[in-house]
Structure 1
Amino acid sequence: MQASRLRMAALLLATVIVACSPPRAQSPLASPENAIRAARLAQNAAIAARNADSVAAFWIEDVSVTAGLGFIVRGRESYKSAFGKDAPMLYSRLPDKIQVSRKWPLAWEEGVWTGTASTGQPAPGLGGRYSAQWVNQNGRWQIRSELFVALDCSGSACDFPLRLK
């Protein structure tokens, strides 16, 4: 039990360090797929650490997002603000496919997302599928748009309203 707690504390410390570090240009030796996976992992760490500035650093200025229940957000500052308003939830994205264009500095990511209570409680919870468009600007992959679709819920999250407008 004690060893498990120490491992968890070490993981949390590493997550906070990664999340608080400013994003750097990806290594030219890294494949685009690996660079995008690493960027997504770092953004997940920033989300877990509740570091909104680091979370937002992975989006281009005019990012466009459709949230899991239909809420549409445009612009980095608006998206950053939406994260603050959704404080009871912690989100994670787990990519299962990344495809990079051979012609343009663009990539497609798709995977599974989850939202869980930040208090460590088992509920509320949301989850579903997502896709993202990444663009490489100045040697750095950033998110241009994201689409999340809620497919599962638990607890009070099942009462969250669908946004059609």
Structure 2
Amino acid sequence: MFSHLRKRFGRGIVDSGETRVKESGLSSQSNGGQRQDFWGMSNAGRETSSPGTDLREKQAKKEKERLIEELQLITEKRNDLRDRLRFLTERSMKNRPHFRPNPYYEDLERMEEAVMSILHNLEMENTVIHENNQKLKKEITFSRNLLSQLLMENTCRKKLVPLKQGARRDILSVH
């Protein structure tokens, strides 16, 4: 803020001891013959536009342009490295920034797609066959259980039929 005010009122780089004009009755000659401004400040500390300051401004502009170019180069390198990192993490050739198609690689890609589709079809068939196999196992288990139950019932009937026939004979012989 003070630097802004100094520039505004024409004061340049001046020692802080000279910021106030002494009002101890000294004439304008004590000021080195310099004329005082409205606020009592002299023109002695003003910087004028000299070839030295123009040269510094040009150097500052050149330095600024050089820094801007350097920043742009650094930004391009950063973006390139970011793309490379993305490529390495995603493992995809198509996302590579400077990808040159290789005919052998394209053939391999087509072959990989064909093999992957065959593999997918085989996996689907395998799941269908596995489901059918499970259903058939259930039916076989059910049939075996039903057969063993029928055999047990048949065995029980055979045992009951002779007893009934033998009991009838005893009953018939008694009468």
Measured against the shorter chain, the TM-score band is under 0.3
Between Structure 1 and Structure 2, which shows a larger proportion of helix residues?
A: 2
Q: TM-score, normalised by structure 1?
A: 0.17
**Structure whose alpha-carbon radius of gyration is higher:** 2
